[in-house]
Structure 1
Amino acid sequence: MFSSIKFAALAAVAFAAGQVLAETHTVTFDNRCNSGTPMLIGQGGAVLSTGGAYTSNGPLVGAIAYLQTGNCGFNGEGCTLLETTLQNPTCPGCGSSTDLSLIPPHSFSVTTGFGYIGACAPGGADCNNANCNTAFHTPTDYWVQVQCEADDADLVITFCD
């Protein structure tokens, strides 16, 4: 009997510790265009947000975001695309990474930028024209990726700033 009480107590402590250490990431939009609908699409094509803040309870892997102006395809085709993975680092270089992409079929549509909040601030980038050097134009433009190696990285995505 004593051992089952001890086990239950240890299980409760482990559960509580896991709740305190749970990984979360929040993506927030700041649409200054006065039109359009911010879109956040997760893996598998799930619409995660159409403008409201979105919080992931765990890693947010391979999400895309863009401002739907009426001219964008569902995966941001024809528009400025943001790609992000927000995850707590488990090894050096394994944390969050965000970038902007103008690789066809994506193309410049509106000024798009992002910034990490918290430990990785002011890390981020802005693209305000079709020739900006802060976005992927070819698949090998890896230097435009902005890393964050802190736990629970949050992101603000801004349009028309």
Structure 2
Amino acid sequence: MFSILKSTALLVVTLGYALAETHTVHFTNLCKFGTPTLIQGPNVLSTGGDYTRQGPLLGAIAYLQTGGCGFNGEGCTLVELSLNNGFSSADISLIPPHAFSVTSGFGYYNGCDGAGADCKEPGCPQAFENPNETGKQVGCPAANVNIAVTFCD
């Protein structure tokens, strides 16, 4: 009986910690055109407003929809991100079919403040141009970290 109660208490504490995880993606669009877009798989999560997830946000992409971008940001500058307690990661991708479209950047806040990357021109050194450039990912080990994505800064 004690073992069942102990296991149940551990499960409740573990679930409580997982449910307490939260992450926000914030957009700033200084371009005066286009729509900031956040996608995860087939789902549009945001078209410009802050998006807050209770729990991890894995494998999401952000870009400025200028009318020339495909659904998954094809033809445009892409910010790839995964926010997860323990280790978050983000990067800028110009790997084809993605291509430079507008100045794009990101920075973590509420943890790892100051860590991020900017891409202000085609061929920017901070962006992936082929899948083997894993050193261009910017990581953050902070719990409940948030990320700000900016266009035309």
Do the two structures share a fold, i.e. TM-score over 0.5? yes
Q: Which has the larger radius of gyration?
A: 1
What is the distance in 1 between the residues matched to 2:120 and 2:131? 20
Match of 2:37 among 36, 39, 50: 39
Per the TM alignment, residue 106 of structure 1 is displaced from its structure 2 partner at its CA by 0.2
Unaligned runs of 5+ in 2: none
Matched, 1:76 2:73: yes
1:92 corresponds in structure 2 to none
2:26 corresponds in structure 1 to 28
TM-score (norm 2): 0.89
Match of 2:127 among 127, 130, 135: 135
Aligned-residue CA RMSD (Å) = 1.8
Matched, 1:111 2:103: yes
Matched, 1:126 2:118: yes
1:41/1:20 CA distance change after superposition, 3 Å? closer
CA deviations on 1:77-132 (whole Å, 9 max, x unpaired) are 0000010000001xxxxx10000000000000000000000220100000011110
TM-score (norm 1): 0.85
What is the distance in 2 between the residues matched to 1:125 and 1:20? 28
CA deviations on 1:34-63 (whole Å, 9 max, x unpaired) are 1100000012x1000000000010000000
1:20/1:99 CA distance change after superposition, 3 Å? closer
Per the TM alignment, residue 21 of structure 1 is displaced from its structure 2 partner at its CA by 6.4
Per the TM alignment, residue 18 of structure 1 is displaced from its structure 2 partner at its CA by 1.5
Matched, 1:86 2:86: no
Per the TM alignment, residue 20 of structure 1 is displaced from its structure 2 partner at its CA by 9.3
What is the distance in 1 between the residues matched to 2:18 and 2:61? 28
Per the TM alignment, residue 19 of structure 1 is displaced from its structure 2 partner at its CA by 6.7
Unaligned runs of 5+ in 1: 90-94
Instruction: Give the counterpart letter for 1:49 in structure 2.
Output: S
